[in-house]
Amino acid sequence: MKKELFQSILSQILKKYGISKEEMYEQTKMPDIVNARYLLFYVCIMKGISISRLQILLKADGFNMTIPTISKGVKVMEKRILEDADYSKIISSINTNQN
């Protein structure tokens, strides 16, 4: 169930940012890709995927990410949401209903 939720969130974020999964998983500091990655972490955590489960899902999908990095991404995104209403709109538009 969590894997399907993760994949749904991932695909929606990739589409919104206009990037590929390979770009998302690159080790890069490009702002759009970092924002997309942090948004993925944040939405997954907010939808009930634990940090340790998220790390496992990311690794299974081909992206090694440490728990401290995921935690940092969530904290950064929380701050950005408070500072920029556009992030709230993006998060609201992500459909996480699993049929």
CA distances, 29 to each of 19, 32, 34, 66, 83 (Å)? 14, 9, 6, 16, 21
Span 54-68, mean pLDDT?
95
Output the pLDDT for position 90.
87
Q: Which of 22-31, 73-82, 89-98 shows the lowest mean pLDDT across its residues?
A: 89-98
Does residue 98 have a pLDDT over 80? no
For 21-42, how does the pLDDT look when each residue is reduced to its tens digit (9 = 90+)? Answer: 999 999 888 999 999 999 999 9
Domains of the chain: 2-93 (1.10.1750.10)
Q: Output the pLDDT for position 97.
A: 60
